[in-house]
Amino acid sequence: MEKINIGDAFIYPMPVALVGALVEGKVNFMTAAWLTRANFKPPMVAVAINKAHYTPIGIRENRSFSIGFPSLEMMAATDYCGLVSGRKTDKSGLFEVFYGELTTAPMIKQCPLCLECKLVEVHEYPVNLLFIGEIVGAYTEERFLTDGKPDIRKMKPLVLTMPDNQYWTVGEYAGQAWGEGKKLKSR
Amino acid sequence: MEKINIGDAFIYPMPVALVGALVEGKVNFMTAAWLTRANFKPPMVAVAINKAHYTPIGIRENRSFSIGFPSLEMMAATDYCGLVSGRKTDKSGLFEVFYGELTTAPMIKQCPLCLECKLVEVHEYPVNLLFIGEIVGAYTEERFLTDGKPDIRKMKPLVLTMPDNQYWTVGEYAGQAWGEGKKLKSR
């Protein structure tokens, strides 16, 4: 079939997260899906956030933030955090908040997994800031683990597609990474 | 339930991609899952790749690369690209290759969607290089679109979890982004 150039496209699919920060002394959460691991050891992440948002003020102020992965049950509250700005709406009461090592990276008790991050540096692009953080703690509960590792079937996170702006669940187990390709190794 | 600190955790889940580059004149593809959108306009991406890999040589040499999203049917070949290095194994014959505007960003015909990227800059971290690229073209086929937008149900991409190293399909439609949270707006 013929290839067509649609000019621009997003990542398919994107993980749905809630970025937590203390902004002007206030606990705040924003929805984010533009994030990735950036380094293996020490563990580092990269999160792209629109410059106009409220959260960047707090991340820069306290040089810390959190990343929480909400479960399917939290979809409405998660989406709400992307609809209203902390500038105008106090989102601190939406979730139960807890802290790890840092006192300036509020995390969400309801999230099956939260990463606590220290800001390493910020890269500035035309619309977004790319925050690079080092993971200093990863908080979960025994009930979300299998063999000591987070189990996506128990976490039930969401993924996002744009520009159709839809949330999706994670589906079935498809295969083993660093495994499925071994059958082609005889080539 | 009590929170436990497992120290480090990955992103849940991660998109599975094939990064294409011309390395020392040879078409090469590597499996990658550490990637995100980095800027809205112009469209930019960030991809973290281990410094020791072969692909970074080509990306730096030609200041360009591609990102392809493989479908479930391509899982074995996709995984194979993460098992063997282009240093020792010629992976150029695994897929049908095509080019867009750039002559140095090989793309995979079998992938439902491929992004063609010009290198903007590289950030160096202890283990990984974070390549920032501008998307200059996005290639798909009519059969993967619905209302002119890539449709994840037609693309059938994979996601990855680590450290259990498992591939997963994308599941069911869960809800509308910038929509589901509206019911909480009366708060």
Residue-wise pLDDT for B137-159, tens only, equals 999 999 999 999 999 999 999 99
Show the 3-state SS of chain B. Answer: CCCEECCCCCCCCEECEEEEEEECCEEEEEEECCEEEEECCCCEEEEEEECCCCHHHHHHHHCEEEEEECEHHHHHHHHHHHHCCCCCCCCCCCCCEECCCCCCCCEECCCCEEEEEEEEEEEECCCEEEEEEEEEEEEECHHHEECCEECHHHHCEEEEECCCCEEEEEEEEEEECCCHHHHHCCC
The pLDDT tens digits of the residues spanning B74-91 come to 999 999 999 999 999 999
Structural domain boundaries in chain A = 14-184
pLDDT value for A2: 94
Report the DSSP beta bridge partners of residue A140. B4
The pLDDT tens digits of the residues spanning B15-73 come to 999 999 999 999 999 999 999 999 999 999 999 999 999 999 999 999 999 999 999 99
Buried-exposed string A109-146: b where 16+ CB fall within 10 A, e elsewhere: ebbbbbbbbbbbeebebebbbbbbbbbbbbbbeeebbe
* Mutation site, A159, A172, A186, interface B, largest B CB count within 10 A: A159
Q: Is cis: bond before B43, omega within 30 of 0?
A: no
Calculate the CA A148 to chain-centre distance: 21
**What span, in angstroms and rounded, lies between the C-alpha atoms of B76 and A178?**
10
Residue A181: list chain B partners with CB under 8 A: 76-84
Q: By three-state DSSP, how is residue A20 classified?
A: strand
> Which residues of chain B neighbour A126 with C-beta distances below 8 Å?
39-42
- State how far the Cα of B153 lies from the Cα of A155, in Å rounded to an integer: 22
Three-state SS at B133: strand
Rounded to whole angstroms, the Cα distance separating A106 from A116 reads: 8
Identify which of B4, B72, B145 has the shortest CB distance to residue A142.
B4
Binary contact (A140, B45; C-beta < 8 A): no
| ipTM passes above 0.95 | yes
Q: Is the pLDDT of residue B187 over 70?
A: no
The answer to whether the CB atoms of A152 and B10 lie below 8 A apart is: no
Per-residue model confidence (pLDDT) at position B42: 98
Q: Which of A125, A153, A176, A183 to mutate to test the interface with B (most CBs of B within 10 A)?
A: A125
CA pair distance A139, B123, nearest whole angstrom: 28
Which of B16, B125, B131, B186 is the mutation pick for testing A, counting most A CBs within 10 A? B125
Q: Is residue B1 very low, low, confident or very high in pLDDT (cuts 50, 70, 90)?
A: confident
Q: For residues B120 and A49, give the distance between their C-alpha atoms in angstroms, rounded to a whole number.
A: 18
Mean pLDDT, chain A cut into blocks of 10 residues (187 residues total): 95 98 96 98 98 98 98 98 95 96 97 98 98 98 98 98 98 98 83
The answer to whether the CB atoms of B160 and A175 lie below 8 A apart is: no
Q: Tokens standing for B52? A: 């020791």
CATH topology of domain A14-184: Pnp Oxidase; Chain A (2.30.110)
Per-residue pLDDT, A19: 98
Region B128-140: mean pLDDT is 98
- pLDDT at residue B156, as a whole number: 98
